[in-house]
A and B are shown apart, each in its own frame.
Chain A
């Protein structure tokens, strides 16, 4: 079971603008049009977030729906202390984690042997490729790998936070991440991305 503590994103966003504030206030009053505007503005991006955690598009859409229901139900609790994007993303991630846990879609590889990173990555190498291709490579990772990779590399959580949230050991999180990274690189190589051997090791 997950702990009750919620993940906190470290991604900094610009503060809520006046238009956004008005939009939120209208959403609090259950203005259907405002809700539609908010949904249109964030749904594509949030579907991308959900897709990173889901095993397929159907699951991602279920997560998105569940997440936006929570957003509209709890938008009155938004305190304008963080960006709206950050807040909605946090809800989506927590919804996705709860969804996977609820449906027993998380499996952990308990082997804790350290994995040596034998490949060298050059900066901006990934940018040369289509985002969708990279995301599909992430999709091919086992659920446990994918989750830790998402939380650590993309969302920016520490292994301690991930361990606390997923109720696993910190070493497990590190191990899963290292394996996930190597696994992902291998998938990317198979897709045609070249990595040089790591000379420092």
Chain B
């Protein structure tokens, strides 16, 4: 079926068909577009934050597992062969073993099977520590129960794979080498009353197993907390930033110079750090940086006796019959740097952070204000005008010396000075060779160790 005359005429008609668009449609559309962009940015930031949380959680859980592994005493299957003689036969639970075996530090005995008393689950026969080992301690009536509450948690232990009959046969011959019974202290059934003879048991803090060749395996020190995350904020009260006004149309000459000073600059965001060593760490963050020019404090008008209305207390640039004020720039910033920590005393330490900040321009905004015949001011917001004069991506160096105070074991607060120097200008050189721009202010960081 090929297009016929009807189709062709229809196409001609439709091609020339237009409909009038409302005057404010463009403004509404741009507003909708801006909202959509903001939503996209928020979505991106939330996604980034969620990813960061997942990553930190993953790393944290890995660290916890390592810690638990290090703290966990050896199970019976990991016992040295000389102390853990795995004998053939049924497992205790298969044989219906209900007796609880306790031992003395001199001779193992099973003469007193306490079948009527609650069993202590999963006893593991361990090699006792020598007197040189600080963890070895004989339980006494005075310290026994206190120690039970302070002992490290012993996680799942495999059942002793020694049948009772074999155990009895084995124990008929006194074991010259003393051994201890480690009980699962999380077992709530284990009380003073359930202990048949408190003097016969050792409770040890930690156990260092011997390897097969008799060498003591090295146990790693407990891993330190290396991951930190938190929020930061900078307030830059001192700066030489000047407003070159990107709002002037390109096809018109500039009518004024660099005469508008920055009111303030503010930066805030989240950051994470990784501890490289006891003193050094690497830091990465993301945040928003805002530079505000000449914020209006008071806006009022009065009638000049000779000419017209005079605006007071409003700092503004006048360009081509436009009064422009409150120009601001908003950047997305990504600081990357290193931190150095020098402990001073107790919870106080001297910290310095230095590195680079990458910034990408999100928005520049300003207001055009006009005065009505009765002297009232009205403002019109203008966004992203004259961005062809601006540098989209900039790079800065930052330095932050200060004091870090440990609030708790995991939380700390850093306060100090903040210095930032732009490597690249906000304005393209061909338009405004503004040179280096610096910011000096105060900073505060709140961090949490994972």
Per-residue contact bits, chain B 26-47, to A (CB 8 Å; 1 contact, 0 not): 1011101100100000000000
Known contacts A65-B32, A159-B1, A135 near B17 by CB under 8 Å? yes
Q: Within residues 7 to 39 of chain A, which ones have a CB less than 8 A from any CB in chain B?
A: 11, 26, 29-33, 35-36, 39
Contacting pair A156 B18 (CB below 8 A): no
Q: Cβ of A32 and Cβ of B9 under 8 Å apart? A: no
Tell me if A32 and B7 are in contact (CB < 8 A): no
Residues of B within 8 A of A156 (CB): 3, 11
Instruction: Count contacts between A and B, CB distance < 8 Å.
Output: 108
Judge whether B132 is part of the interface by a CB distance below 8 angstroms: no
Please tell me if B388 contacts chain A, counting CB pairs below 8 Å.
yes
A65 B1 Cβ-Cβ under 8 A: no
| Contact B14 A135, beta carbon cutoff 8 Å | yes
- Closest CB of chain B to A136's CB: distance in Å? 11
What string of 1s and 0s marks CB contacts (under 8 Å) between B67-100 and chain A?
0000000000000000000000000000000000
Q: A134-B10, A153-B10, A156-B11 are in contact. Are A47 and B33 (CB under 8 A)?
A: no
Q: Does A48 reach chain B (CB closer than 8 Å)? A: yes
Bits for A136-158, please: 1 = Cβ < 8 Å to B, else 0: 00100000000001101110100
Choose from B7, B19, B385, B388 the contact partner of A48 (Cβ within 8 Å).
Answer: B19
Contacts of B33 in A (CB 8 A): 69, 72-73
A33 to B385 CA separation, bound complex (whole angstroms): 8
With an 8 A cutoff between CB atoms, is A61 at the interface? Answer: yes
Q: Are A153 and B13 in touch, CB under 8 angstroms?
A: no
Given contacts A65-B29, A134-B10, contact A153 B21 (CB under 8 A): no
Complex Cα–Cα for A74 and B339 (A)? 41
Chain B residues near A73 (CB-CB < 8 A): 33
A-contact 0/1 string along B223-258, CB 8 Å cutoff: 000000000000000000000000001000000000
Q: Tell me if B405 counts as interface (CB < 8 A to partner A).
A: no
A181 contacts B by Cβ under 8 Å: yes
Neighbouring B residues of A29 by C-beta, 8 Å:
387-388
Alpha-carbon distance between A51 and B20 when the two chains are bound, in angstroms: 11
Interface class of chain A by DSSP: helix
A127 at the interface (CB under 8 A from B): yes
Number of interface residues of B (CB under 8 A): 34
Any chain B CB within 8 A of the CB of A189?
A: no
- Scoring A60, A150, A152, A154 by chain B CB atoms within 10 A of each residue's CB, the highest score goes to A154
Interfacial chain A residues near B17, Cβ < 8 Å? 45, 48, 51-52, 131-132, 135
Whether A126 contacts B9 in the complex (CB less than 8 A), given A39-B26, A131-B17, comes out as: yes
CB neighbours (8 Å) of B26 from chain A are 35-36, 39-40, 43
**A29 CB to nearest chain B CB (Å):** 5
- Name A51's contact: one of B15, B19, B28 (CB within 8 Å): B19
Cβ–Cβ contact A69 & B32, under 8 A:
yes
With A125-B9, A134-B10 known as contacts, the answer to whether A153 contacts B388 (CB < 8 A) is no
Distance A124 CA – B17 CA, assembled complex (angstroms): 16
* Docked-complex contact B19 and A26, CB < 8 angstroms: no
Across the interface, do A127 and B13 meet the contact criterion of CB distance under 8 Å?
yes
Per a CB cutoff under 8 Å, which of A35, A123, A124, A154 touches B11? Answer: A154
**How far apart sit A29 and B387, CA to CA, in the bound complex (Å)?**
7
Which of A35, A44, A124, A135 contacts B30 (CB under 8 A)?
A35
Q: Does B193 contact A (CB under 8 A)?
A: no
Contact in complex: B29, A39 (CB < 8 Å): yes
Within the complex, what minimum Cβ distance (angstroms) separates B385 from chain A? 6
Could you say which of A32, A134, A178 contacts B13, with CB atoms under 8 Å apart? Answer: A134
Contacts of A75 in B (CB 8 A): none
Q: Is A68 an interface residue (CB 8 A)?
A: yes
A99 at the interface (CB under 8 A from B): no
| A64 x B21 contact (CB < 8 A) | yes
Shortest distance from the beta carbon of B382 to any chain A beta carbon, whole Å:
8
Query: Measured between alpha carbons, how far is A132 from B36 in the docked complex, in Å?
Result: 34
Name which residue of chain B comes closest to A127, CB basis. B9
Given contacts A39-B29, A156-B3, contact A26 B388 (CB under 8 A): yes
Which residue in B7, B9, B13, B25 is a CB contact (below 8 Å) of A61?
A: B25
Q: List the B side residues contacting A179 at CB < 8 Å.
A: none
Does B304 make an interface contact (CB < 8 A)? no
Does residue A80 face the partner (Cβ distance < 8 Å to B)?
no
Q: Write the nearest CB–CB distance from B24 to chain A, whole angstroms.
A: 12
Kindly supply a per-residue 1/0 record for chain A positions 83-123, scoring 1 wherever the CB is within 8 Å of any chain B CB and 0 otherwise.
00000000000000000000000000000000000000111
- List chain B positions with a Cβ less than 8 A from chain A: 1, 3-7, 9-21, 25-26, 28-30, 32-33, 36, 249, 382-385, 387-388
Name 19 interchain pairs, CB-CB below 8 A, sorted by A: A30-B387, A31-B387, A33-B249, A40-B26, A43-B25, A45-B17, A45-B18, A48-B14, A48-B18, A52-B14, A69-B29, A69-B33, A121-B6, A121-B9, A123-B9, A126-B6, A153-B7, A154-B7, A156-B11
**7 closest cross-chain pairs (CB), A and B:** A153-B7, A44-B18, A48-B17, A126-B9, A121-B6, A47-B19, A123-B5
In addition to A47-B18, A47-B19, 6 A-B residue pairs with Cβ atoms within 8 Å of each other are A31-B385, A32-B385, A39-B26, A43-B25, A65-B28, A123-B5
